[in-house]
Amino acid sequence: MRKAVFLDRDGTIIDNQGDLGDPNGVNIIEGAAEAIANLAEAGWLLIVVTNQAGVARGGFTEADIKIVHDHIDTLVGPIERYYYCCYHPEGILEEWKGSHSWRKPSPGMLEQAIQDF
- The strand pair at 4-7 and 81-85 is best described as unpaired
- State how far Cα 76 lies from the chain centre: 13
User: 3-state DSSP call for residue 70?
Assistant: helix
19 is catalytic: no
Q: Within a 13 Å sphere around the CA of 22, how many CA atoms are in the beta-carbon half?
A: 4
70 is catalytic: no
Pairwise CA distance, residues 112 & 101, whole Å: 10
**Which residues of 1-117 form beta strands (DSSP E)?**
4-7, 45-51, 81-85
Q: Check 8, 70, 73, 116 and give the catalytic one.
A: 8
Please give the positions annotated as active site. Answer: 8, 10
